[in-house]
Amino acid sequence: MNRTSLEKRSRRQMNNNGMLLLITIALFIVMYVAGCLVYSDKGFDHFQTFINILINNSGLICVACGMTAVMLTGGIDISVGALIAMDCMFLAVGIETRGVPAPYLMAEVLLIGVVFGFVQGFCVGYLDIQPFIVTMAGMFFARGMTAMISTQQVTIKSSEFFVGLANLKIWMPFEIGAYMNNKGKLMVPYLRLPVIIALVVLIAVFLLLRYTKFGRSLYAVGGNQQSAALMGLDVKKTRLKAYMLSSFLCSIGGICYCLNTMAGTTTQATGLEMDAISSAVIGGTLLTGGVGNVFGSFFGVLINGTISSLVKTNGKLMSSWANVVSAMLLCFFIVLQAVFAKLKERSKR
């Protein structure tokens, strides 16, 4: 097999989840429109409500993009939540206790992500250790390091630069989505910086996966590692880079997460790895690898965010209902993936 056949095969794999992606998008639209109709009296139909979903999940969007890249190779990364907690604590303690300028700390956080991903990727790619075991060790390490940095909650207050970034409002042009509140005041929707960062990451990763050799290699390795090796691909190096990319994007997500919370705690981002995995699966990324799309993962994040927002808007439901509904959707999409896989096998016969 030559590189031309590799490109054709990887492009077919990139397009294989088209139906799953359409189902995900349709589900989000139906769910959000239903919420607007049912809770219009509580302001759910305001454009700012949708933007708030993006703001609250900006860090998760970055993490889900990295998780998608790893899952495309047939791997998994359950260390992302712990890495975000370590990043936030590192930033909080560095700014408040040690007085280190925030820009330097943010650059160090990105470097930590690259090194963290390199170690995990080397163990998975070159030592051929199971990804779940490697990333579980990474999860314990990051959680332990978070507690070693500080066991107390540290709130960021002293850095004018970091606080300024967190409080920055980017108003919608031409008053798009503006509405009058109960007091007759015009409310213009606004974005926060983490949303801009998350959307830039989303577009950049989409282009990376779609139009670069590395992106096509991820699909090929996830589709069949032996075939990818016969095509001349360096499977070990590709898997290494996938985990480096995941941890790097996770560190970007950690900065976004810290800009939203303005604090570092040992329990921060607990369970976020499951949110990232479920968002990717709901978005059409196969657990076995080879098929997926970051825009699908993005809509998976929006679905989970909408569920949480609906539960909060209702005001009478326990917050755990969001987890229950998300779990049901995850099971539904896993079964749906299995059904599509069976139909695909039958069509080949």
Kindly list the distances between the CA atom of residue 202 and the CA atoms of 25, 133, 241, 300, in Å, as whole numbers in the listed order. 16, 28, 18, 13
Least confident of 7-21, 70-84, 199-213: 7-21
Q: What does residue 25 show for φ and ψ, rounded to 5 degrees?
A: -65, -45
Question: Domain total for the chain?
Answer: 1
Q: Which of 214-218, 237-241, 343-347 has the lowest mean pLDDT?
A: 343-347
Whole-angstrom distance, CA of residue 335 vs CA of residue 31: 20
In a domain? residue 4: no
Whether residue 19 is predicted with pLDDT greater than 90 in this model: the reply is no
Q: Does residue 283 fall inside a structural domain?
A: yes
What domain range is 163 assigned to?
28-33+44-343
* CATH code of the domain covering residue 126: 1.10.3470
- Within a domain: 19: no
**C-beta of residue 306 within 8 angstroms of C-beta of residue 323:** no
DSSP-derived letter for residue 172 is: P
Q: Are 71 and 292 in contact (CB under 8 A)?
A: yes
Asked if the structure places residue 210 within a domain, the reply is: yes
pLDDT score of 89 more than 90? yes
The C-alpha atoms of residue 191 and residue 218 are separated, in whole angstroms, by: 33
Q: What is the pLDDT of residues 282-319, one digit of tens each?
A: 998 988 888 888 999 999 999 999 999 999 988 888 88
Q: Is residue 108 assigned to a domain?
A: yes
Average pLDDT over residues 330-339: 86
CB-based contacts of 128, cutoff 8 Å, min separation 6: none
CB contact at 8 A, 243 and 114: no
Handedness of CA 205, 221, 245, 338 (dihedral sign): positive
Residues 131-181: pLDDT tens digits? 999 999 999 999 999 999 999 999 999 899 999 999 999 998 877 888 877
Position with higher pLDDT, 12 vs 267: 267
Residue carrying structure tokens 């963290």:
116
- Predicted confidence at residue 340, as pLDDT, reads 74
Instruction: Centre a 10 Å sphere on the Cβ of residue 179 and count the other Cβ atoms it contains.
Output: 15
Taking phi over 0 as left and psi of -120 to 50 as alpha, with beta for the rest, 263 belongs to beta
Percent of the chain with pLDDT over 90: 68
Give the closest residue to 243 by CA, choosing from 124, 117, 142.
117
In a domain, 238, yes or no: yes
Backbone angles phi, psi at 168, to 5 degrees: -65, 130
Q: Is residue 12 part of a domain?
A: no
Beta bridge partners of 186: 180
Residue with tokens 């539960």: 311
269 Rama class: left (phi>0) / alpha (psi -120 to 50) / beta: left
Could you tell me if residue 11 is inside a domain? no
**Which pLDDT value is given to residue 227?**
84
Classify 171 as helix, strand or coil.
Answer: strand
What pTM does this model have?
A: 0.92
